[in-house]
A = this chain, B = another copy of it.
Amino acid sequence: MSSDLEGTATAVTERKVVKPTPAELMEDAGTGLDYGVRPDRMPGYLTPIDRFFIRSHAPTPRLDAATWSLRIEGDGVREPVTYTYADLWNRFPLASTVRTIECAGNRRVLFGQAYGRTFGGTQWGRGAIGTAEWTGVRLRDLLEPAGVTPGAREVMPEGLDRIRARRPMPLAKALADDTLLVLAMNGETLPPDHGYPARVVVSGWLGAASIKWVGRIEVSERPLRVPWNTEDYVLIGRDYPDGPIPITGIPVASMVELPWPARLRPEPQVIRGRAFAGENAVSSVEYRIDEGPWRAASPASPQLPAAWVRWQFTWVPRPGDHVIQVRATDDQGRTQPDTVPWNDLGYLYHPVLSHPVRVEA
């Protein structure tokens, strides 16, 4: 091999993620670890693995299922237990569920633009959200053999990535029907970037709770304080005098399935989008053009718990520059606000957005 070729090979930056992230499908969020989906490249309801967003705190670890194990321990269980990968497949019932995962930092760039400021952290546009079919074992089935104590209060999965990402949840959430230790995604063995060999999916909560590459689960009788619920993934700043407030659920938000800004032809067409309200259901979606009257968008099937909904409306656009606004409402009666207060880490930005559209003459 020539030294030229060797030179080229060493000049290539080592990738921190495993799957390809072509610009056609995914948007580089600037950290080398994080890639968002392009909202206009999701033709179906589910997000395929090839374009599912990646948010990691450290490079994707390459774990060997043959030597991997899961330890459940802590003062909240009577007897620690350790499971092998084969144990998970062979000893427990499987469940499959469709759930949306969204990063609490989704739309951070738009948050900054609204306030004329910038944030540290991952520079997310609208792409830190995706929906998949998750197959795995219910967390409660894994906890049961360890004997959860009457005083157990919190359950904290911990990742085997370099910085051991971890985030506690209340026992009740861990025991919920749809809290899974996931082994497969969209019918395939879980891919490396998405947590192979096992991750949790905590329905309707911020993505950071759905820890990837889980190797240990701590069950505790005391509240657990870790960087991920004290310093990061919290609401903090002068509008949160009682902060930091750890983020759990995700508030209602919506997105138009068009590039930002969009260019359209001056002909009748269906405008589509999605809305997601975390643990709550989306009950209605309205839209308006150029600050005209609000009108109801039509929902599209399917309608699933703790997963996004699709909506659509027909538009006959005239040439020129326009703005599409969408406001979704959840089943608790909460509608996307016009503005949201500032928080220093740029989380949960979920107001009505003004989607810029240019229609050709």
Residues of A at under 8 Å CB distance from B?
A: 42-48, 50, 89-98, 133, 135, 183-189, 267-270, 272, 298, 300-302, 310, 312
Contacts and interface: CB of A to CB of B under 8 A. Distances in A.
Given A45-B96, A93-B312, A186-B186, 18 more contacts: A43-B183, A43-B187, A44-B133, A44-B184, A44-B187, A45-B133, A45-B187, A46-B133, A48-B186, A89-B270, A90-B267, A90-B269, A91-B270, A93-B270, A95-B300, A96-B300, A96-B302, A186-B187
Contacts of A187: 42-48, 186
A41 to B, nearest CB: 9
Nearest to A304: B302
A179 to B, nearest CB: 13
Contact of A189 (B43, B90, B188, B268): B43
B188 A43 contact: yes
B94 A272 contact: yes
Contacts of A45: 96, 133, 135, 187
Nearest to A50: B188
B96 A44 contact: yes
Copies in the complex: 2
Contacts of A98: 302
Contacts of A48: 186-188
A118 to B, nearest CB: 33
A97 B302 contact: yes
A341 B72 CA distance: 53
A301 B186 contact: no
A44 B185 contact: yes
A10 B248 CA distance: 59
B188 A270 contact: no
A165 B239 CA distance: 65
A201 B301 CA distance: 16
A45 B188 CA distance: 9
A238 to B, nearest CB: 41
A295 to B, nearest CB: 15
B270 A92 contact: yes
A269 B188 contact: no
B43 A310 contact: no
B301 A97 contact: yes
A113 to B, nearest CB: 29
A142 to B, nearest CB: 14
A269 B48 CA distance: 31
